Amino acid sequence: MGAQVAGSTHRTPSKTQWEGEAVSDYGYPHASDEVQEERNRIADRAYEELRRAGLPAHRWKRDADGSPGAEIAVDPGEDSVGGVIVTWTADFGPALAESLLSGDLQAPVIRQNGAVARHMQEAIIGILRAAGLEAAPSEDDMNPLAVRVAST
């Protein structure tokens, strides 16, 4: 794991590579290097296919600016959450953030954002399946409108 801090039971997390950047793993079990390489190939292909279809798309990176479009991320986990995930981000400006921060979860902008994400999830699944990739709605209850992608 990480280094033992003198005179303490605190342990610093070890570092690992994720998307080309060092991140703390806190003991989180990662898939093998071979599996992660395959996931990155799938993510690159998903990116290319979505761009080819005319959608704005980008690979996830730590300092992403929240640009609208399809965000393709590779989760390095060896568990069922790990893999290639595509999430759609719309641009509803500050109205969306203001509604969320104020707790107004019934605001029209929040409903519209959810509807757009749901329709884009369906479109992304269709585009990726047409390109020969295996795509399905995410089973992650923390990100239910995301798309999980695998090779066929």
Which residue, among 39, 36, 37, has the nearest Cα to 25 in the 3D structure?
36
> What would the mean pLDDT of 52-63 be, rounded to a whole number?
88
| pLDDT score, position 62 | 62
The tokens 């190939």 sit on which residue?
A: 41
Cβ atoms within 10 Å, residue 72 = 23
CA distance 17 to 26: 13
β-bridge mates for residue 86, sequence order: 72, 147
CA distance 74 to 56: 18
Q: Please report which confidence band the pLDDT of residue 151 belongs to, taking 50, 70 and 90 as the band edges.
A: confident
Within the chain, how many helices (H) and strands (E) appear?
3, 7
Q: Are 72 and 43 in contact (CB under 8 A)?
A: yes
Domain ranges of the chain: 1-28, 31-150
At residue 140, the 3 state secondary structure works out as: coil
pLDDT, tens only, 18-52: 444 444 456 778 888 899 999 999 999 999 999 99
| pLDDT score, position 28 | 76
Q: What percent of the chain has pLDDT over 70?
A: 78
Q: Are 120 and 88 in contact (CB under 8 A)?
A: yes
Which of the 8 DSSP states describes residue 5?
P
| pLDDT score, position 78 | 77
